[in-house]
């Protein structure tokens, strides 16, 4: 069985008399250590799927099987443990604590899990060994996003969930971030899901899941995903 199995998942939002089907029978799987790109236009239902996979939201129907366990059946306490131990999040905006340095932001991971990676080592691995003592406001957007990734990776999550991680970054900086995410999956076995509306990013993925209008329209496997440096857009 694949590492992630989303099986016939539905999520509806009720607004007065109208119901919006944000996810309308979504099914897909992702293998351990893969980079999966979830591709689709704005409003397609991508963030809804990611939030459900991350235990931040619950589905109305369906199974969300992660590493053999259906997290859709979890209660609140189990979901909290799951979010703390198993999932790392990277969002479009960096969500760093402004009055903590880069290193201190990454040290937060060790307050959440007992076996966190060494903050200096992780910051070094994302190319920030010279910026340990800088505050977020003293870092560029790309550097802040690297700190966010370092903080997420330091928890040694099973899943790294990234919602438009390059959305606020320029082209070259965005490429650096995607390179780090691709390297993380391929070097550490972390399963990485990246949401984007930019189809040009698809060649970097091991698996591309196209979502449109609340449904999965197409899944493709890249037997030879391209290094991010070789992709142009």
In the complex, which residues of this chain contact ligand ADP (CB under 6 A)? Answer: 13, 20, 22, 40, 42-48
CB of 94 to ligand ADP, least distance (A): 18
Q: Which does 119 bind (CB under 5 to 8 A by kind): Mg ion, ligand ADP, none?
A: none
Q: Which is nearer to Mg ion, 122 or 160 (CB)?
A: 160
Structure-block tokens of residue 8: 């016939």
Q: What is the pattern of x (binds Mg ion, CB under 5 A) and - over residues 46-85?
A: -x--------------------------------------
Q: Which does 144 bind (CB under 5 to 8 A by kind): ligand ADP, Mg ion, none?
A: none
Q: Which is nearer to ligand ADP, 110 or 212 (CB)?
A: 212
Residues 6+ apart with CB under 8 A from 150: 102, 106, 119, 122, 123, 125, 126, 128
Reduced to 3 states (helix: H, G, I; strand: E, B; else coil), residue 155 is coil
CB of 173 to ligand ADP, least distance (A): 22
Question: Angle of helix 102-112 relative to helix 141-154, nearest 10 degrees?
Answer: 20
Reduced to 3 states (helix: H, G, I; strand: E, B; else coil), residue 164 is coil
Distance between CA atoms of 139 and 142, rounded to whole angstroms? Answer: 8
CB of 43 to ligand ADP, least distance (A): 4
Distance between CA atoms of 8 and 33, rounded to whole angstroms? Answer: 23
Q: Which is nearer to Mg ion, 191 or 196 (CB)?
A: 196
Q: Are the C-beta atoms of 94 and 144 separated by less than 8 Å?
A: yes
User: Counting contacts by CB under 5 A, is residue 196 touching Mg ion?
Assistant: no
Q: Which is nearer to ligand ADP, 40 or 142 (CB)?
A: 40
Q: Which does 207 bind (CB under 5 to 8 A by kind): Mg ion, ligand ADP, none?
A: none
Residues 6+ apart with CB under 8 A from 83: 54, 55, 56
Q: What is the pattern of x (binds Mg ion, CB under 5 A) and - over residues 19-48?
A: ----------------------------x-
Structure-block tokens of residue 173: 């900086």
Q: C-alpha dihedral over 51, 123, 205, 207, to 10 degrees?
A: -50
Residues that bind Mg ion (CB under 5 A): 47
């Amino acid at each position: 069985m694949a590492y992630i199995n989303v099986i016939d998942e539905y999520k509806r939002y009720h607004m007065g008399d109208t119901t919006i089907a944000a996810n309308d029978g979504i099914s897909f799987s992702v293998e351990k250590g893969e980079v999966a790109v979830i591709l689709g236009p704005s409003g397609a239902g991508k963030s809804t799927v990611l939030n459900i996979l991350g235990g931040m939201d619950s589905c109305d129907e369906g199974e969300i099987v992660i590493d053999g366990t259906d997290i859709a059946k979890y209660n609140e306490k189990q979901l909290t443990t799951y979010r703390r131990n198993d999932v790392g999040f990277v969002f479009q905006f960096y969500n760093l604590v402004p009055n903590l340095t880069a290193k201190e932001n990454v040290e937060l991971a060790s307050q959440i899990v007992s076996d966190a990676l060494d903050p200096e080592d992780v910051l070094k691995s994302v190319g920030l060994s010279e910026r340990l003592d800088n505050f977020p406001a003293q870092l560029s957007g790309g550097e802040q996003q690297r700190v966010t990734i370092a903080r997420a990776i330091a928890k040694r999550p099973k899943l790294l969930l990234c919602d438009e991680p390059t959305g606020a970054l320029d082209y070259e900086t965005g490429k650096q971030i995607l390179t780090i995410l691709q390297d993380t999956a391929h070097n550490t076995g972390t399963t990485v899901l990246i949401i984007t509306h930019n189809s040009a990013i698809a060649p970097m993925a091991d698996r591309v899941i196209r979502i449109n209008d609340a449904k999965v329209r197409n899944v493709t496997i890249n037997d030879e995903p391209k290094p991010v440096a070789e992709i142009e857009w």
